[in-house]
Structure 1
Amino acid sequence: MALRERVVAFVEEGHSRRAAAARFRVSVKFVNDMVILKHETGGLEPRRQGNRGGHGKLARLRGWIVARMAAKPDLTLDDLVLEIADEHQMTVHRVSVWRTLRSLGLTHKKRPSGRRTKAA
């Protein structure tokens, strides 16, 4: 935070952004970003990173997916994608369904790793 404050204060004193970058040994982009951040928010706190989750296509279907998997736990990803398309008129990729299942804790292996069938 101290560097951000010093950089912005230096620019606000009337120095150029390039001069601020050279003096504090940072990039011109960093200086520009800090000045813009100060102008937009009034502060220099870092913005939140990443997506906040829960706003994807499948967010509203989470309950339905849980109920469907409870009713028929042996559904494949492709089967679930087709059911979502039929019942909810929504096109989703199987990876999206996989991520939703994983976030719900509904992943499983068909056979435990210690009990694999052996060739005769």
Structure 2
Amino acid sequence: MGRHYSNDLRERVAAAVLSGRSCREVAALFSVSPASAVKWSQRLRETGSAAAKPQGRRPPRALAPHLSWILARLDEKPDLTMRALALELGARGVATSEVSVWRLVRDARLSFKKNAVRRRARSSRRGAQTPVLEEASGKTGA
């Protein structure tokens, strides 16, 4: 990927285009592409600046204003599913999906562990071991 052009170059190219020169002529003069000259001059006309748009910022989650309510609800009832939270948000007038709720919960660094009562998270060594076949039938070897 190429390097960014300086704002000074962008301003000079855009000003040259707006002064009446053609985009192709200005592009050849400043050694930039004609498309760049067109875009920079359009941006200068629309916004007053030919500077590059900011990059790299992710917009905040749509459910961010409801984060405190969601976290309070999960503290109140920790075994709520994402579907149940999405439905409760829908009842509050917030149209959302389970995935959106899950992303917000994940961003809050909450995780859901498996239920210890059902022993799903434990290793098989902790439970009673199954008897060996010979011991179960009462026979010994030979």
- TM-score normalised over the length of structure 1: 0.70
Bigger relative contact order (CA 8 A; separation at least 6): 1
CA distance in 2, matches of 1:101, 1:90: 16
Between 7-16 and 76-85, the greater mean CA deviation after superposition: 7-16
- TM-score normalised over the length of structure 2: 0.62
Q: Which runs of 5+ in 1 are unaligned?
A: none
1:20 deviation in Å?
2.5
Q: Which runs of 5+ in 2 are unaligned?
A: 1-6, 115-120, 130-142
Letter in structure 1 aligned against 2:113: K
More helix by share: 1
CA distance in 2, matches of 1:99, 1:47: 27
Segments of 4+ in structure 1 off by > 6 A? none
Q: What is the 5 A alignment of 1:39-78?
A: 39-49=45-55, 50=57, 52-53=59-60, 56=62, 58-78=63-83
- Number of aligned residue pairs: 113
Pairing partner for 1:102 from 106, 111, 114 = 106
Structure possessing the higher radius of gyration over alpha carbons: 2
Structure 2 CA distance for partners of 1:59 and 1:31, relative to 1, 3 Å: same
Letter in structure 2 aligned against 1:70: D
1:9 matched residue in structure 2 = 15
